[in-house]
Amino acid sequence: MITRSLLGAAVVGAIPSLAFQAYGADNKAPDRQPNIIYILADDLGYGELGCFGQTRIETPNIDRLATEGMRFTNHYAGQAVSAPSRCVLLTGLHTGHAAIRGNDEVASRGPVHSHKAMLADSTLEGQRPVPANTIMIPRQLKEVGYTTACIGKWGLGWPT
């Protein structure tokens, strides 16, 4: 279920909703855990997907997810820029409590602002990492049997 709100946002409200939907009002465990596919896209508007009326750009796979799954329509970005927004999404923390508060390359690592230097040494790529002891929703999902993945832009650390 993809909506503008869902696409840009913190998952604080979504995980309790998923848990409630998965276990139901009677608190009985389902036969199997629900699949969770969360798509975070920078600068994608509510009406830019077929499931919400877009007719010029075809989005059949996302439309199918929207038809067959759960649709969230009131979800907001935790911050206006990408790394802090992702940190809020993955930790459930308010920006005042989150470790990442800006898009921040760490200059002490070397010439991190030089495109040529990064092409020569890919380990320079990446922004300030989330502290290792940070509790993140994907880690919590793994603890209850989920397999998790991040595909695409990360922005919360450098290659290790």
Q: Mind listing the pLDDT tens digit for each residue in 115-133?
A: 999 899 988 888 889 999 9
Amino acid 21: pLDDT: 44
Q: Exposure pattern of 23-47 as b/e (b: 16+ CB <10 Å)?
A: eeeeeeeeeeeeebebebbeeeebe
Q: Mind listing the pLDDT tens digit for each residue in 27-41?
A: 565 678 888 888 887
Amino acid 151: pLDDT: 86
The pLDDT of residue 45 is above 80: no
